Amino acid sequence: MTQEYFNYINGKWQVSRAGRTFEDLNPANKTDIIGRFPRSDASDVDAAVQAARVHYPRWHRVPAPRRAEIMFRAAEIMVRRKDELARAMTREMGKVLQEASGDVQEAIDMTYYIAGEGRRLFGQTTPSELPDKFAMSVRVPIGVAAAITPWNFPLAIPTWKLIPALVAGNTVVFKPAEDTPLMAQRLVEILLEAGLPEGVLNLVQGIGEEAGVALVAHPDVKVVSFTGSSETGREVAKVCAEHYKKVALEMGGKNPIIVMDDADLDLALEGAVWGAFGTTGQRCTATSRLIVHRAVRREFTDRFVERAQQLRLGDGLLPTTDVGPLINEAQLRRVHSYTEIARQEGAKILTGGYIYTEGDCAKGLFYAPTIFAEVTPDMRIAQEEIFGPCPAIMEVGSLEEAIDVANSTTYGLSSAIYTRDVNKAFIALRELEAGITYVNSSTIGAEVHLPFGGVKHTGNGHREGSQTVLDVFTEWKTLYIDYSGRLQKAQIDVG
């Protein structure tokens, strides 16, 4: 019998008000139904937001170190349940078990790290320009925060949003992706077990076009943190602008690895394979463009194709699997459509380019690792985010050309260069238009204590991770205390 799951609103687990549900399927085996979840609508969202609004005054008055201690206990629970959580994630989302374990570890790292901020949340003290006057700035919470998260990192990314929002003193309505509702349920359960009071965090499951849209537009939501596609993010930003909401967007990428003629090709190949095919290419930081110097292009391409053809597809719970499934039928069709676009544009398909149905993979949503060659910067496959295992190889003749090609898209999340020349490395660090740049490493590998995010159509200026994430979930408040006993008129008196 299929297990039923519920929303968590105002301290109670409950069905959707309309009684509708949706099924959560294992993408490696579509006959494996993980559970049935509430298909929430605007009425469920309103109940969750009202609960968060009611509980906000009490929660934001809890001292920040006490709020943070709950998060620390949550991290301890995740440590104890790491293997269990990783296996559940692989079954629900499809990524291989080792990667799922890394996702859980990232959630643990982020939760520990932000818990530490509960004893900091630093502001500034500064001398006043007037005598007998004290001046300082402090961070204050905003109110009800909406956290809208994607399916590709179903535990890590929610912790990037929920944990800093809660430590900062906001209450939260959490709307996870409909493809990974179970991992959201598990995270909420862990936070409740750690001692989070009722009503402070509310979970609303459902479809983005229904529950997500209602949450973004709700007038009592004061800040929205969204991770997803640039197209959806644009619509989120429009709604937030109409309602004067603070909004933080983390969106798409078309991330390049530059391979120079002096690169360590063994190292570059490792980085390219991991960046392009890790998580089946379903990362915003995935390597989707390989910009290779013509002096090494042939050798690099031949070896890269050989490595791609050796990758084993299958259920991520099996130790023999290198590449898991795509997340759903729509994404499988979308990825395959780009193979057809590549053919129409005149690119060459060196390997892959088809839906993989061999053996047990016939039960799932698998796509053969695919490599496009003879790609030019104006092609759609060089410009648009595919979100699948489909990197494009592009030939260049110099570092300057490589950087121009790398910067030629509307995205700017992650980037990398392989070179032994320190001068080339530093030029790339300066000139690549991206929020993240690696030297002699892949485009994947962000660490939680450093800012994460991008430029251009990848984001709207905010960053997740590090202390910078607190800028999303707090406002600055400046405080003046005048103990002179008389009215001082600032610049008027100074003049």
Residues serving a catalytic function are: 250, 284
Asked if 416 contacts 275 with a C-beta cutoff of 8 angstroms, the reply is: yes
Q: Are strands 348-351 and 371-373 parallel, antiparallel or unpaired?
A: antiparallel
Q: Quote the CA–CA distance of 164 and 185 in Å, as a whole number.
A: 19
* Beta pairing partners, 226: 148, 249
Beta-carbon count within 10 A of 53 CB: 18
Query: Which residues touch 434 (CB under 8 Å, ≥6 apart)?
Result: 255, 412, 413, 414, 415, 454, 455
Cα gap 293→394, rounded to integer Å: 9
> C-alpha distances in angstroms, 159 versus 174, 191, 389, 400, 469?
11, 11, 26, 39, 11
Of 227, 273, 268, residue with least CA distance to 250: 227
Q: Which residues of 70-82 are buried (b: 16+ CB within 10 A; e: fewer)?
A: bbbbbbebbeeeb
SS3 letters across 152-208: CCCCHHHHHHHHHHHHCCCEEEEECCCCCHHHHHHHHHHHHHCCCCCCCEEECCCCH
Residue 26 amino acid letter: N
Residue carrying the six token digits 């060089």 = 382
Helix %, strand %, coil % of the chain (to 5): 40, 20, 35
The answer to whether the Cα torsion of 28, 29, 35, 41 is positive or negative is positive
Q: Name the residue with tokens 């909401």.
A: 245
**Looking at 397-446, which runs of residues are DSSP E strands?**
414-418, 436-439
| Of 424, 445, 407, 420, residue with least CA distance to 268 | 420
